[in-house]
Amino acid sequence: MSNRIWVSWLTRWGIVLIVSLITLAPVIWVLSLSFKPPQEWLAYPPTLIPRQPTFENYLVLFWPGNPVGVVSEMVRTAEPVTRAFLNSLLIVPISTALSITIGFLAAYGISRFGAGGNFLPFSVLTTRMFPPIAFAVPLLVYYRSLGLIDTHLGLILMYTTFTLAFSLWMIKGFIDGVPRHIEEAAILDGASRWRVMFTITLPLIRGGLAAAALFVFIMNWTEFLFALVFTSRFAVTLPVQVSRYAGAVGRYYGPQAALGIVASIPVLVAGYLIQRYLVRAFTFGLVK
Amino acid sequence: MAREGQILIRLENITKEFNGTIAVRDLNLEIWEGEFLCFLGPSGCGKTTTLRMIAGLERPTRGEIYLRDQRITDWPPQRRNIGFMFQNYALFNHMSVYENLAFGLWVRRVPREEIERRVRSVAQALELEPVLHLRASRLDLSTMQRVALARILVIEPQVLLLDEPLNNFRPGLRELMRAELKRWQYQFGRTMVYVTHDQEEALTLGDRIVVMNAGHIEQVGTPDEVYQRPATLFVASFIGRPSMNLLPVEYRISEGRAFLVSPDFEIPVDERREIIEKSRSLPNLILGVRPEQLRIHDPQESSPPDLIRIPAQVDLVRPQGRKLILDVKTRSGALLQMVVPSIRRFVAGEQLEIAFYPHQILLFDPQTGKGLC
């Protein structure tokens, strides 16, 4: 009997351990890499804990031409990450907010009034039916003539458009879960549709909105292809900046890893802030 | 109490179709000021749809709705000032009880002190003061019901519509809440329209009952009228438990006297001749007699001359505490249900004589289903 409990305990925690290792291993590796000097980047056998830990990789991100160290020598021509960082911090939250707002309004119309029939909600999905590169070329032509290349607005519009499918469908699911009777009760109380939407429905699906927002935020934060194609200097975002740390001889893994760590901080913060709403989202099914 | 003549709401030739299926067909009804009106019918008969049309949540496909002689068919629900209590109460779970009650006043831009005063007074009447600060999602069912009612009362509606509000209660509590509802109606004196599929509920609560079936009204009447003089076969079989015995009979005239004839008995019906002869499906009729009007006849006793007696055999005994339901089979094989006091034991197979008075029977036209009386 006690043997069986042991076995089940071991299996459970064993699985948890393996899954956590698989998920966390790359993060740990990147963290360790970001503190390694160049000779250790590709060292064999690999080291988990740097033998000669250094902050050089972080230093060059913000001060590329600094007078100390080998890494600085390598990335002498790179721009400081400050611009890319600020760009990302501007473009991603705005496009996420737009995507969620439009998604919520559209999802409400579709869920409650069947707006657009069967066609509209599915037509929104077409933006995710092709590989993004298929859109890149025609959009490049449009963007050139509209003067949107390498602008913040250009990326904001693009990110809003391509994440709308996710916001709309996720939020629609949550709105569908709000019983119609609750809205009808508010209407009979004398509330207008807009009021019902914002004082009754919206607070009830707050958790769902938070989940959708976090999801869209991460998608936009890590988007690489469009940012690479549609920006060159002025509106460069973090993922593009990461790719810049490479030279004729290969990639500069140290600064790339350091930037990876720095870039993940805002996502961690966003996730932490949203966390308490997320729990509500997962228990949302309890609202009858 | 309801007084005839003061019409609060009038439904005129209301029809509602959903994608081609007809939910309510050509319905006409008057709702009187101050009455407790019950819609009774099996599920899917259109009673909830009718209620939703009165509230304005559905728009009738055809027909008009009047509120005190004002045509309100096109009015949005916000303008109608009608209270609606949903089956699952539809409380705003993210708000406190106080906010739930205040919501309707708040959207109507009632001044803050006035809101406070009205919420407090309704909360006091329904004993909700201790829970005013709680979240609506934390309440138990009967408190939720009181909050739902309070939320409606606080806006002082013209009429309260209640859609099967007792469905969520277990049987014992149901009776209790039913009594509570009746008390509230006396207390607040408002017109209430109540939808239910439970006949006991309708018979206890209603001043008048609207019996609905398949989208139309079968009968409108007081509980007594509906029970004692059902207008149609449907009402006769739907109301009353166990349900009414219905037997096919034939109308015959012999030697100038009128009779209803079945293989088991003959009933003289001279005094009802005129009414019966209006029926178009003669000679076929359906006779209805309530299980509690059938009695066991003791052969030793002398019987009044007009008593109809039928020899029968006990088929099944169903004890119900103080009463028994007996299923008996006549010689011709017709099954009848009867309710008798459980003063003695009965066994299946036992022979006995059952009896009833001819004036107690109801007659129906088998084709139209209409009652003849």
Tens digits of per-residue pLDDT, B133-155?
Answer: 999 888 888 899 889 989 998 99
Q: Which residues of B touch A177 (CB under 8 A)?
A: none
pLDDT value of residue A59: 86
C-alpha–C-alpha distance, residues B221 and B247, integer Å: 25
Cross-chain Cβ contact A186/B151 below 8 Å: no
- How confident is the prediction for chain B on average, in pLDDT? 89
pLDDT value of residue A1: 58
Q: Predicted confidence band at A281 (pLDDT cuts at 50, 70, 90)?
A: low
A190 vs B55, B78, B92: nearest CB: B78
pLDDT value of residue A78: 75
Nearest CA to B312 out of B276, B349, B287 is that of B349
- A to B CB pairs, distance under 8 Å: 61
Q: Is some CB atom of chain A closer than 8 A to the CB atom of B91?
A: yes
pTM for this predicted structure: 0.81
Q: Which two tokens stand for residue A181?
A: 């009777």
Which one is predicted more confidently, B132 or B299?
B132
pLDDT digits (tens, 9 = 90+) for B172-225: 888 888 888 888 888 888 899 999 999 989 998 999 999 999 999 999 999 999
- φ, ψ (nearest 5 deg) of residue B314: -70, 130
Sheet holding B36-40, edge to edge: B82-85, B159-163, B191-196, B36-40, B208-213, B216-221
Nearest CA to A233 out of A159, A149, A153 is that of A149
For residue A13, pLDDT beyond 90: yes
- For A200, name the nearest residue in chain B, comparing CA atoms only: B92
C-alpha–C-alpha distance, residues A199 and A264, integer Å: 34
pLDDT value of residue A286: 43
pLDDT value of residue B337: 93
- φ, ψ (nearest 5 deg) of residue B189: 55, 35
Cross-chain Cβ contact A287/B91 below 8 Å: no
For residue A244, pLDDT beyond 50: yes
Q: Which residues of B touch A204 (CB under 8 A)?
A: 93-94
Q: What is the mean pLDDT of residues A76-105?
A: 92
Q: Is the dihedral of CA A152, A153, A155, A160 positive or negative?
A: positive
For residue B373, pLDDT beyond 80: no
- How confident is the prediction for chain A on average, in pLDDT? 88
Distance of residue B108 Cα from the nearest chain A Cα, in angstroms? 7
pLDDT value of residue A229: 92
Nearest CA to B309 out of B318, B319, B299 is that of B299
CB atoms within 10 A of CB B357: 14
Amino acid at B193: V
Among A112, A184, A188, A192, the residue to mutate for chain B (most B Cβ within 10 A): A188
Q: What is the mean pLDDT of residues A65-88?
A: 81
- For A192, name the nearest residue in chain B, comparing CA atoms only: B78
Q: Predicted confidence band at B241 (pLDDT cuts at 50, 70, 90)?
A: confident
C-alpha–C-alpha distance, residues A283 and B243, integer Å: 46
pLDDT value of residue B281: 78
Cross-chain Cβ contact B55/A188 below 8 Å: yes
Q: Which of A36-45, A226-235, B72-81 has the lowest mean pLDDT?
A: A36-45
pLDDT digits (tens, 9 = 90+) for A191-217: 999 999 999 999 999 889 998 999 999
B103 vs A181, A189, A203: nearest CB: A189
Q: Which residues of B touch A185 (CB under 8 A)?
A: 84, 86, 90-92, 151
pLDDT digits (tens, 9 = 90+) for B54-68: 999 999 999 999 999
Q: Is some CB atom of chain A closer than 8 A to the CB atom of B83?
A: yes
Nearest CA to B152 out of B104, B98, B206, B87 is that of B104
pLDDT value of residue A288: 36
- φ, ψ (nearest 5 deg) of residue B300: -70, -30
Q: Which residues of A touch B94 (CB under 8 A)?
A: 203-204
Which one is predicted more confidently, A283 or B113?
B113
Q: What is the mean pLDDT of residues A26-44?
A: 89
C-alpha–C-alpha distance, residues A133 and A226, integer Å: 8
Q: What is the DSSP string of A165-184?
A: HHHHHHHHHHHHTS-HHHHH
Q: What is the mean pLDDT of residues A93-104?
A: 96
Cross-chain Cβ contact B103/A191 below 8 Å: yes
Q: Which of A52-61, A63-72, B13-22, B232-241 has the lowest mean pLDDT?
A: A63-72
Q: Which residues of A touch B91 (CB under 8 A)?
A: 182, 185
- For B102, name the nearest residue in chain A, comparing CA atoms only: A189
Q: Which two tokens stand for residue A240?
A: 């593009």
Instruction: Please name the residues in contact with A31: beta carbons below 8 A apart, sequence gap of 6 or more.
Output: A257, A261
pLDDT value of residue A144: 93
pLDDT value of residue B339: 92
CB atoms within 10 A of CB A73: 13
Cα distances (Å, whole numbers) of residue B145 to B127, B168, B193, B353: 12, 10, 16, 50
For residue A260, pLDDT beyond 70: yes
pLDDT value of residue B2: 45
pLDDT value of residue B1: 46
Q: What is the mean pLDDT of residues A151-172?
A: 94
Nearest CA to B41 out of B251, B238, B319 is that of B238
C-alpha–C-alpha distance, residues B105 and B115, integer Å: 6
Q: What is the mean pLDDT of residues B263-272?
A: 84
Q: Is some CB atom of chain A closer than 8 A to the CB atom of B72?
A: no
Q: Which two tokens stand for residue A88?
A: 């990302």
Cross-chain Cβ contact B151/A185 below 8 Å: yes
- φ, ψ (nearest 5 deg) of residue B207: -75, -40
Q: Which residues of A touch B78 (CB under 8 A)?
A: 187-188, 190-192
Which residue, chain included where needed, has tokens 């037997």?
B247
Q: Which of A142-151, A221-230, A257-266, B299-308 has the lowest mean pLDDT?
A: B299-308
Q: Predicted confidence band at A283 (pLDDT cuts at 50, 70, 90)?
A: low
Q: Which two tokens stand for residue B202?
A: 């309708």
A241 within 8 A of A81, measured Cβ to Cβ? yes
- For A287, name the nearest residue in chain B, comparing CA atoms only: B93
B78 vs A181, A182, A187: nearest CB: A187
Cross-chain Cβ contact A179/B155 below 8 Å: no
B65 within 8 A of B193, measured Cβ to Cβ? no
- For B80, name the nearest residue in chain A, comparing CA atoms only: A188
Cross-chain Cβ contact B88/A181 below 8 Å: yes
For residue A186, pLDDT beyond 90: yes
Q: Which residues of B touch A191 (CB under 8 A)?
A: 78, 103, 107
Distance of residue B8 Cα from the nearest chain A Cα, in angstroms? 18
Q: Which residues of B touch A203 (CB under 8 A)?
A: 94
Among B19, B72, B92, B140, the residue to mutate for chain A (most A Cβ within 10 A): B92
Query: Percent of chain A having pLDDT more than 90?
Result: 57
Strands (E), B234-346: 245-254, 257-261, 266-268, 284-289, 295-297, 308-319, 323-330, 335-341
